[in-house]
Amino acid sequence: MSRHYNHWSAEERAVAQIEIQDGKSMRSIARRLGRSPSTLSREVARQGAPAYSATEAGKAYRTRRLRSVRHRRFAQGSELSQFFCDHLVLYRWSPQRDMHPDDPSQRVSHEPIYASIYAHPRGGLKKELEEVLGQSKSTRCLRRTTVAKQTWVPEQLRIVHRPEEVRQRLVPGHWERDLIKGAFNHFCVGTLVEQKTRFVILCKMDGCTADAALEGFSRQLKKLPQSMRTSLTYDRGTELTCYPELMDRLDIGVWFADPHAPWQRGSNENTNGLLRQFLPKGIDLSSASQKYLNHVAMLVNTRPRQTLGWKTPAEAMDKEIAEFRSRVALAS
Protein backbone atom coordinates (compact mmCIF):
# COMPACT_ATOMS: atom_id res chain seq x y z
CA MET A 1 0.00 0.00 0.00
CA SER A 2 1.43 3.35 -1.02
CA ARG A 3 1.86 6.05 1.60
CA HIS A 4 1.11 9.71 1.05
CA TYR A 5 2.49 12.40 3.30
CA ASN A 6 1.09 15.92 3.49
CA HIS A 7 2.91 18.79 5.12
CA TRP A 8 1.24 20.39 8.11
CA SER A 9 -1.05 23.29 7.31
CA ALA A 10 -1.45 26.47 9.37
CA GLU A 11 -4.98 25.38 10.35
CA GLU A 12 -3.73 22.02 11.67
CA ARG A 13 -1.06 23.70 13.74
CA ALA A 14 -3.63 26.11 15.20
CA VAL A 15 -5.92 23.21 16.18
CA ALA A 16 -2.99 21.32 17.70
CA GLN A 17 -2.00 24.38 19.78
CA ILE A 18 -5.54 24.87 21.15
CA GLU A 19 -5.99 21.18 21.95
CA ILE A 20 -2.61 20.94 23.69
CA GLN A 21 -3.43 24.02 25.79
CA ASP A 22 -6.71 22.33 26.78
CA GLY A 23 -4.72 19.33 28.05
CA LYS A 24 -5.92 16.83 25.43
CA SER A 25 -3.83 13.71 24.84
CA MET A 26 -1.65 13.25 21.74
CA ARG A 27 -3.77 10.32 20.55
CA SER A 28 -7.05 12.20 20.76
CA ILE A 29 -5.57 15.26 18.98
CA ALA A 30 -4.10 13.02 16.31
CA ARG A 31 -7.49 11.30 15.75
CA ARG A 32 -9.18 14.68 15.35
CA LEU A 33 -6.56 15.84 12.79
CA GLY A 34 -6.49 12.51 10.95
CA ARG A 35 -2.80 12.17 11.73
CA SER A 36 -0.64 9.48 13.30
CA PRO A 37 0.20 10.11 16.98
CA SER A 38 3.91 9.74 16.15
CA THR A 39 3.57 12.44 13.46
CA LEU A 40 2.01 14.82 15.98
CA SER A 41 4.71 14.00 18.56
CA ARG A 42 7.50 14.81 16.08
CA GLU A 43 5.80 18.09 15.14
CA VAL A 44 5.63 19.16 18.79
CA ALA A 45 9.17 17.96 19.56
CA ARG A 46 10.66 19.85 16.59
CA GLN A 47 9.74 23.18 18.15
CA GLY A 48 11.66 22.41 21.35
CA ALA A 49 9.78 25.03 23.35
CA PRO A 50 7.97 24.56 26.67
CA ALA A 51 4.61 25.22 24.99
CA TYR A 52 3.66 24.47 21.41
CA SER A 53 3.13 27.62 19.30
CA ALA A 54 1.53 27.35 15.85
CA THR A 55 3.11 30.66 14.77
CA GLU A 56 6.65 29.67 15.78
CA ALA A 57 6.23 26.17 14.33
CA GLY A 58 5.16 27.68 10.99
CA LYS A 59 8.20 29.98 10.91
CA ALA A 60 10.53 27.08 11.64
CA TYR A 61 8.88 25.02 8.90
CA ARG A 62 9.36 27.75 6.29
CA THR A 63 13.02 28.16 7.31
CA ARG A 64 13.65 24.44 6.88
CA ARG A 65 12.00 24.50 3.45
CA LEU A 66 14.25 27.33 2.28
CA ARG A 67 17.34 25.41 3.41
CA SER A 68 16.20 22.27 1.59
CA VAL A 69 15.95 23.98 -1.82
CA ARG A 70 19.01 23.38 -3.97
CA HIS A 71 20.41 26.73 -5.03
CA ARG A 72 21.26 27.06 -8.70
CA ARG A 73 24.95 27.77 -9.28
CA PHE A 74 24.33 28.64 -12.92
CA ALA A 75 21.67 31.30 -12.41
CA GLN A 76 21.56 33.97 -15.10
CA GLY A 77 23.56 37.01 -14.13
CA SER A 78 25.78 35.12 -11.71
CA GLU A 79 29.58 35.26 -11.89
CA LEU A 80 29.74 31.63 -13.01
CA SER A 81 27.15 32.23 -15.74
CA GLN A 82 29.14 35.20 -17.04
CA PHE A 83 32.33 33.14 -17.04
CA PHE A 84 30.75 30.45 -19.22
CA CYS A 85 29.17 32.99 -21.58
CA ASP A 86 32.55 34.66 -22.09
CA HIS A 87 34.24 31.37 -22.96
CA LEU A 88 31.41 30.26 -25.23
CA VAL A 89 31.23 33.49 -27.21
CA LEU A 90 34.83 34.72 -27.20
CA TYR A 91 36.75 31.44 -27.35
CA ARG A 92 34.05 29.18 -28.85
CA TRP A 93 34.50 26.52 -26.18
CA SER A 94 32.06 23.65 -25.95
CA PRO A 95 29.35 23.66 -23.23
CA GLN A 96 30.62 20.21 -22.26
CA ARG A 97 34.05 21.53 -21.24
CA ASP A 98 34.88 20.87 -17.58
CA MET A 99 36.37 24.31 -16.92
CA HIS A 100 37.02 23.78 -13.19
CA PRO A 101 38.20 20.16 -12.74
CA ASP A 102 39.74 20.94 -9.32
CA ASP A 103 36.86 22.96 -7.88
CA PRO A 104 33.60 20.99 -7.41
CA SER A 105 31.73 24.14 -6.38
CA GLN A 106 32.32 25.61 -9.84
CA ARG A 107 31.39 22.55 -11.89
CA VAL A 108 28.24 22.70 -13.99
CA SER A 109 26.78 19.98 -16.20
CA HIS A 110 26.47 20.88 -19.87
CA GLU A 111 22.70 20.33 -19.70
CA PRO A 112 22.02 23.41 -17.49
CA ILE A 113 24.22 25.43 -19.86
CA TYR A 114 22.18 24.38 -22.89
CA ALA A 115 18.95 24.97 -20.97
CA SER A 116 20.11 28.42 -19.89
CA ILE A 117 20.98 29.40 -23.45
CA TYR A 118 17.63 28.37 -24.86
CA ALA A 119 15.74 29.90 -21.91
CA HIS A 120 17.62 33.18 -22.27
CA PRO A 121 15.43 36.19 -23.11
CA ARG A 122 15.33 37.16 -26.75
CA GLY A 123 17.97 39.58 -27.86
CA GLY A 124 21.46 39.93 -29.24
CA LEU A 125 23.12 37.83 -26.52
CA LYS A 126 20.70 34.93 -27.00
CA LYS A 127 21.36 34.94 -30.74
CA GLU A 128 25.10 35.12 -30.12
CA LEU A 129 25.01 32.19 -27.71
CA GLU A 130 22.92 30.03 -30.05
CA GLU A 131 25.29 30.71 -32.92
CA VAL A 132 28.26 29.27 -31.03
CA LEU A 133 26.51 25.94 -30.46
CA GLY A 134 27.06 23.03 -32.81
CA GLN A 135 24.68 22.23 -35.63
CA SER A 136 21.13 21.28 -34.68
CA LYS A 137 18.47 19.82 -36.92
CA SER A 138 14.76 19.29 -36.34
CA THR A 139 14.92 15.84 -37.90
CA ARG A 140 17.65 13.35 -38.62
CA CYS A 141 18.52 12.83 -42.24
CA LEU A 142 18.32 9.34 -43.62
CA ARG A 143 21.42 7.85 -45.09
CA ARG A 144 21.41 7.53 -48.82
CA THR A 145 20.53 4.01 -49.95
CA THR A 146 21.12 4.31 -53.68
CA VAL A 147 23.88 2.23 -55.22
CA ALA A 148 27.04 4.26 -55.73
CA LYS A 149 28.27 4.64 -59.28
CA GLN A 150 31.79 3.71 -60.28
CA THR A 151 34.25 6.62 -60.17
CA TRP A 152 37.79 7.38 -61.22
CA VAL A 153 39.28 6.19 -57.89
CA PRO A 154 41.78 3.32 -58.34
CA GLU A 155 40.94 0.14 -56.42
CA GLN A 156 44.27 0.13 -54.53
CA LEU A 157 43.52 3.59 -53.07
CA ARG A 158 40.12 2.73 -51.61
CA ILE A 159 39.77 3.21 -47.86
CA VAL A 160 39.29 -0.53 -47.28
CA HIS A 161 43.00 -0.98 -48.01
CA ARG A 162 44.08 1.70 -45.53
CA PRO A 163 46.32 0.35 -42.71
CA GLU A 164 44.62 -0.47 -39.42
CA GLU A 165 46.87 1.93 -37.48
CA VAL A 166 45.34 4.82 -39.43
CA ARG A 167 41.75 3.80 -38.70
CA GLN A 168 42.48 3.37 -34.99
CA ARG A 169 44.36 6.70 -34.73
CA LEU A 170 47.40 5.01 -33.21
CA VAL A 171 50.01 7.32 -34.72
CA PRO A 172 49.91 10.99 -35.80
CA GLY A 173 50.44 12.31 -39.29
CA HIS A 174 47.28 11.00 -40.93
CA TRP A 175 44.90 13.68 -42.14
CA GLU A 176 41.31 13.93 -43.36
CA ARG A 177 40.55 16.46 -46.04
CA ASP A 178 37.51 18.29 -47.40
CA LEU A 179 36.33 21.56 -48.90
CA ILE A 180 33.97 24.17 -47.45
CA LYS A 181 32.32 25.88 -50.40
CA GLY A 182 30.98 29.41 -50.49
CA ALA A 183 28.19 31.11 -52.39
CA PHE A 184 27.43 29.53 -55.79
CA ASN A 185 30.43 27.21 -55.31
CA HIS A 186 32.73 29.84 -56.85
CA PHE A 187 35.26 29.84 -54.01
CA CYS A 188 36.08 27.40 -51.24
CA VAL A 189 38.31 26.79 -48.24
CA GLY A 190 40.29 23.59 -47.83
CA THR A 191 40.07 21.90 -44.44
CA LEU A 192 42.63 19.46 -43.05
CA VAL A 193 42.13 17.61 -39.74
CA GLU A 194 44.79 15.41 -38.18
CA GLN A 195 43.06 12.25 -37.00
CA LYS A 196 44.80 11.62 -33.68
CA THR A 197 45.16 15.19 -32.38
CA ARG A 198 42.20 16.79 -34.24
CA PHE A 199 44.57 19.61 -35.22
CA VAL A 200 43.05 21.80 -37.95
CA ILE A 201 44.68 23.53 -40.92
CA LEU A 202 42.72 25.81 -43.24
CA CYS A 203 43.83 26.51 -46.80
CA LYS A 204 42.98 29.53 -48.92
CA MET A 205 41.86 28.42 -52.39
CA ASP A 206 41.77 30.41 -55.61
CA GLY A 207 38.82 28.38 -56.85
CA CYS A 208 37.19 24.96 -56.63
CA THR A 209 39.22 23.29 -59.36
CA ALA A 210 41.73 20.46 -59.05
CA ASP A 211 44.61 22.86 -59.76
CA ALA A 212 43.44 25.22 -56.98
CA ALA A 213 43.19 22.29 -54.55
CA LEU A 214 46.66 21.08 -55.50
CA GLU A 215 48.25 24.47 -54.90
CA GLY A 216 46.32 25.27 -51.72
CA PHE A 217 46.93 21.97 -49.94
CA SER A 218 50.55 21.74 -51.07
CA ARG A 219 51.30 25.23 -49.75
CA GLN A 220 49.93 24.55 -46.26
CA LEU A 221 51.05 20.94 -45.83
CA LYS A 222 54.64 21.79 -46.75
CA LYS A 223 54.83 23.84 -43.55
CA LEU A 224 54.50 20.66 -41.48
CA PRO A 225 57.37 18.35 -40.55
CA GLN A 226 57.58 15.35 -42.86
CA SER A 227 56.75 13.05 -39.92
CA MET A 228 53.44 14.83 -39.46
CA ARG A 229 52.18 14.31 -43.04
CA THR A 230 52.02 10.61 -43.79
CA SER A 231 48.63 10.10 -45.43
CA LEU A 232 45.52 11.93 -46.54
CA THR A 233 41.96 10.54 -46.56
CA TYR A 234 39.50 12.30 -48.84
CA ASP A 235 36.03 11.89 -50.27
CA ARG A 236 35.46 11.36 -53.99
CA GLY A 237 35.17 14.97 -55.09
CA THR A 238 36.59 15.55 -58.55
CA GLU A 239 38.78 18.40 -57.24
CA LEU A 240 41.25 15.74 -56.09
CA THR A 241 41.80 14.21 -59.50
CA CYS A 242 45.20 15.85 -59.01
CA TYR A 243 46.10 13.24 -56.39
CA PRO A 244 49.14 11.84 -58.31
CA GLU A 245 50.78 15.29 -58.33
CA LEU A 246 49.91 15.83 -54.66
CA MET A 247 51.43 12.48 -53.68
CA ASP A 248 54.58 13.30 -55.64
CA ARG A 249 54.99 16.84 -54.24
CA LEU A 250 54.50 15.94 -50.60
CA ASP A 251 55.59 12.30 -50.56
CA ILE A 252 52.25 11.49 -48.96
CA GLY A 253 49.81 8.61 -49.30
CA VAL A 254 46.20 9.22 -50.37
CA TRP A 255 43.11 7.17 -49.51
CA PHE A 256 39.58 7.69 -50.82
CA ALA A 257 36.47 7.14 -48.69
CA ASP A 258 33.50 5.25 -50.08
CA PRO A 259 30.73 7.24 -51.78
CA HIS A 260 28.09 8.67 -49.42
CA ALA A 261 30.01 7.55 -46.31
CA PRO A 262 30.91 10.75 -44.39
CA TRP A 263 31.39 8.75 -41.15
CA GLN A 264 34.61 7.38 -42.66
CA ARG A 265 35.99 10.92 -42.27
CA GLY A 266 34.26 11.65 -38.98
CA SER A 267 36.84 14.07 -37.59
CA ASN A 268 36.68 16.21 -40.72
CA GLU A 269 32.88 16.24 -40.83
CA ASN A 270 32.58 17.20 -37.15
CA THR A 271 35.22 19.91 -37.52
CA ASN A 272 33.45 21.35 -40.56
CA GLY A 273 30.40 21.77 -38.34
CA LEU A 274 32.49 23.85 -35.92
CA LEU A 275 34.00 25.87 -38.76
CA ARG A 276 30.58 26.81 -40.09
CA GLN A 277 30.28 29.13 -37.08
CA PHE A 278 32.97 31.25 -38.71
CA LEU A 279 32.31 30.37 -42.37
CA PRO A 280 28.51 30.06 -42.63
CA LYS A 281 26.84 28.64 -45.69
CA GLY A 282 26.04 31.04 -48.49
CA ILE A 283 28.77 33.61 -47.83
CA ASP A 284 31.31 34.76 -50.40
CA LEU A 285 34.61 33.11 -49.45
CA SER A 286 36.67 35.09 -51.96
CA SER A 287 37.35 37.73 -49.28
CA ALA A 288 38.50 35.18 -46.66
CA SER A 289 42.26 35.77 -46.47
CA GLN A 290 44.77 33.18 -45.29
CA LYS A 291 45.44 35.40 -42.28
CA TYR A 292 41.77 35.22 -41.27
CA LEU A 293 41.68 31.46 -41.88
CA ASN A 294 44.75 31.05 -39.67
CA HIS A 295 42.92 32.96 -36.92
CA VAL A 296 39.87 30.70 -37.26
CA ALA A 297 42.10 27.62 -37.13
CA MET A 298 43.78 29.00 -34.00
CA LEU A 299 40.40 29.38 -32.27
CA VAL A 300 39.45 25.79 -33.12
CA ASN A 301 42.89 24.42 -32.18
CA THR A 302 42.83 26.13 -28.77
CA ARG A 303 39.36 24.86 -27.96
CA PRO A 304 39.49 22.02 -25.37
CA ARG A 305 38.06 18.79 -26.78
CA GLN A 306 36.34 16.08 -24.79
CA THR A 307 37.78 13.36 -27.03
CA LEU A 308 41.29 14.55 -26.08
CA GLY A 309 40.62 14.48 -22.34
CA TRP A 310 39.88 18.22 -22.46
CA LYS A 311 43.27 19.04 -23.94
CA THR A 312 43.36 21.30 -26.97
CA PRO A 313 44.37 20.07 -30.45
CA ALA A 314 47.31 22.48 -30.32
CA GLU A 315 48.54 20.91 -27.08
CA ALA A 316 48.10 17.42 -28.48
CA MET A 317 50.00 18.28 -31.68
CA ASP A 318 52.86 19.95 -29.77
CA LYS A 319 53.15 16.84 -27.62
CA GLU A 320 53.34 14.53 -30.65
CA ILE A 321 56.00 16.67 -32.36
CA ALA A 322 58.05 16.89 -29.15
CA GLU A 323 57.90 13.10 -28.66
CA PHE A 324 58.98 12.50 -32.26
CA ARG A 325 61.96 14.86 -31.92
CA SER A 326 62.91 13.16 -28.68
CA ARG A 327 62.91 9.74 -30.36
CA VAL A 328 65.01 11.07 -33.24
CA ALA A 329 67.51 12.62 -30.82
CA LEU A 330 67.86 9.36 -28.91
CA ALA A 331 68.30 7.37 -32.13
CA SER A 332 71.07 9.66 -33.34
Average pLDDT of every residue of the chain:
80
Buried-state track 80-115, b at ≥16 Cβ within 10 A, e below 16: bbeebbebbeeebbbbebeeeeeeeeeebeeebbee
Question: Which helix (H) or strand (E) segment is 200 a member of?
Answer: strand 200-204
Tell me the C-alpha distance between 303 and 300, whole Å. 5
Tell me the C-alpha distance between 88 and 92, whole Å. 5
Stretch 39-66: mean pLDDT, rounded? Answer: 85
pTM of the entire structure?
A: 0.58
* Residue 287, pLDDT score: 86
Task: Tell me which residue of 9, 57, 2 sits closest to 33, measured CA to CA.
Answer: 9
Read off the pLDDT band of 67 (50, 70, 90). confident
What is the per-residue DSSP string for 282-311? T--GGG--HHHHHHHHHHHHTS-BGGGTTB
Distant-in-sequence, close-in-space partners of 290: CB < 8 Å, separation ≥ 6: 203, 204
* Residue 193, pLDDT score: 94
Q: What is the pLDDT of residues 5-35, one digit of tens each?
A: 688 888 988 988 888 888 889 899 889 888 9
* Residue 306, pLDDT score: 87
Stretch 127-154: mean pLDDT, rounded? Answer: 53
Is-contact 203 214, C-beta < 8 A? no
Task: Tell me which residue of 93, 90, 128 sits closest to 110, measured CA to CA.
Answer: 93
Q: What is the pLDDT of residues 261-306, one digit of tens each?
A: 888 888 888 888 888 888 888 888 888 899 999 999 999 999 998 8
